[in-house]
Chains A and B, each alone.
Chain A
Amino acid sequence: MEMTIQNMQLAQCGSRSAEPYDSDSYLSGVKPIWCPGCGDYSVLTSLTNALAYLQLSPEQVALVSGIGCSSRIPAYTSVYGFHGVHGRALPVATGLKITRPDLTVLVAGGDGDGFSIGGNHFLHACRRNVDLTYIIMDNQVYGMTKGQASPTTAPDWQGSELTPHGTGVNPFQPLVIALASGANFIARCFSGEPANLAEILVQAIQHPGFSVVQILSPCVTFRPEQRQWKNSVRMAESGLDTDIRTAARRLMEDDGMTVGQILYKGKRPAYQPQSASRGDIHKLERGFVL
């Protein structure tokens, strides 16, 4: 262990507990390059805190992502990571969980990756209900490609030269779609409330089946007005609707700024085919021979 001032002071403080993992245990040495003010920093912090609370060893966890600013997150953690193809994080994660049900498989990405390029995978991942936790950092913009409208952008947003009069298109309602398609756990959080987010992530990971956590995560560079989200989000008064009709009404009537609670918790058993096996690698390879 490198003897930094922190380590020396911790050593002087003495051993605190028998718990082997703290939030730092899940961080890699790679420093995030997100913009200062970006909400994704908080998501990383909440996620590492949630994993520390659950005391999952890093080799028991896999984090799969697509492409985009938020999809960089696996590199910043010490768990198994797969930074995949645009929009294809969910099928990769599904395959991983089916073949390695012993792993805790998390999926992360943004609104463009998940709901546009990966939109069809999102629907079917909800239907299949494999035991995954999907963490969507929603900033209503494509940040990495310099600020184009995404599926969740409001129709009148005129911040991009590609849509100077707004998109005029109805924004995607991810949680309504998730509920209608069969997701087993649905929540919306705000990255400005990291303790609440950590708590919801713990519950999402623990709940069997496909869990969807939409996180409002400001892009301060291409949507600087989102700095005001901290004033416009509101904590949900009550959560934990197991009745799908009540949850549907709540989600349909909401303006998308209600955060901090579980909005639906279903009881469907997670999909895990009995026939799934790791198989013989040579047999698998032979299947690809032309």
Chain B
Amino acid sequence: MSEKPIPNRSLEELFEFARTMELEAARRYTQLSDMMAQHNNSELTDLFKRMADIEWLHVYNVEKARRELDVMEGTPSSYPGFGLNAPEVPDFLSMHYLLRPYHALKLAMQHEERAAIFYTELADSTENDEVRAVALRFAEEEKNHVRELQQWLARYPEPEPGWDDDPDPPNELE
């Protein structure tokens, strides 16, 4: 039920969506970092914090591209919850307090892939040449992010089954 590309978006709408998606992803990774800090998972706290910083950089990059192309600012928050289900924004419900960097990077990669597919589908469906060009540019950037995450992920082997075993689980009843 996530957001689908809407054909015939204007260039202003495309930039507004791209910016909002990166902004929400930055907010979400910050929240995930805070969540893991509360549960003493320091590895994931740091990793999600780094992801948030990267997403903030992407917010900046979208704005820079908008200014380069002299595109007007769109109207923020065109509907309630705009961007909350955007392809790049990870889901709270996928979290577990014992997640490892491998899982977090896989999750981030899946969302970057979703964003690349979103922009590619948008480019395929639009009749506006300018929108198609920018959507393809964004799709390529998302694919670059996937490749960067693949390199990062290579440093972490997949955890053995039982990674979520906790000898003192929070739902233990005594």
Contacts and interface: CB of A to CB of B under 8 A. Distances in A.
Interface of A: 5-6, 9-10, 12-14, 16-17, 19, 23-24, 31-39, 41-42, 45-46, 49-50, 52-53, 146-147, 161, 191-199, 201-202, 218, 220-222, 227, 230, 235, 260
A9 to B, nearest CB: 5
Interface in B24-41: 26-27, 30-31, 34-39
Contacts of A222: 171
A230 B93 contact: yes
Interface in B104-135: none
A220 B97 CA distance: 11
Interface of B: 1, 3, 26-27, 30-31, 34-39, 52-53, 56-57, 59-60, 63, 73, 75-77, 79-85, 91-97, 99, 170-171, 173
B27 A23 contact: yes
Given A36-B39, A39-B93, A161 B173 contact: yes
8 contacts: A17-B76, A23-B27, A32-B34, A33-B38, A42-B93, A46-B81, A196-B81, A260-B1
Which of B1, B63, B82, B99 is packed against the most chain A CB atoms within 10 Å?
A: B1
Contacts of B77: 19, 52-53
Contact of A37 (B3, B27, B85, B93): B93
A194 B81 contact: yes
Nearest to A42: B92
B149 to A, nearest CB: 20
A74 to B, nearest CB: 18
Given A16-B76, A198-B81, A36 B1 contact: no
A49 B81 contact: yes
Contacts, number: 118
Contacts of B38: 31-33
B76 A147 contact: no
Contact of A192 (B57, B93, B95, B96): B93
Contacts of B84: 45-46, 49, 194-195, 198
A191 B93 contact: yes
Contacts of A220: 93, 96
B34 A31 contact: yes
A52 B93 CA distance: 23
Contacts of A38: 92
Which of B30, B53, B92, B95 is packed against the most chain A CB atoms within 10 Å?
A: B92
A172 to B, nearest CB: 24
A161 B174 CA distance: 10
Contacts of B94: 37
Contacts of A230: 93
Contacts of B56: 5-6, 9
Nearest to A19: B76
Contacts of A146: 171, 173
Contacts of B57: 9
Given A36-B39, A49-B84, A147 B79 contact: no
